[in-house]
Amino acid sequence: MEKGAIINHDQTKAPKTGDWRYMKPEVDASKCIGCSTCVPHCPEAVMEMRKRSEAEVEISGKFAKEKDLAVIDYEYCKGCGVCAQVCPVKAIIMKK
């Protein structure tokens, strides 16, 4: 209990909502065009855009190096599937 009934934000006390997940979204690096449509729509804010590694540049082939790749933080991802639904090129696949 904190003083004066004020509760401070503490990420370590937050529930790890990744436990809720029964379908797991996976980003296909060869398809992701780096448009970041999925990022603001994710209710948990677990989608992030990052630079591609060299191996990922290789499999994505036709995409330029500058195009970022969406990655998912599975610690909080509830597996709702919104990212897969909004993706314009269907680069996110929900897996059991």
83, 41 contact by CB (below 8 A) = yes
Residue 56 within binding range of another protein, rule CB under 8 A: no
27 binds another protein (CB under 8 A): no
Where would I find the beta strands (DSSP E) of 1-96?
24-27, 47-50, 69-72, 92-95
Site for another protein in 57-96 (CB under 8 A): 73, 75-76, 78-82, 84-86, 94
Q: Looking at this protein, which amino acid is placed at residue 73?
A: D
**Which stretches of the chain bind another protein, using CB under 8 A?**
1, 7-11, 13-17, 20-21, 39-48, 73, 75-76, 78-82, 84-86, 94
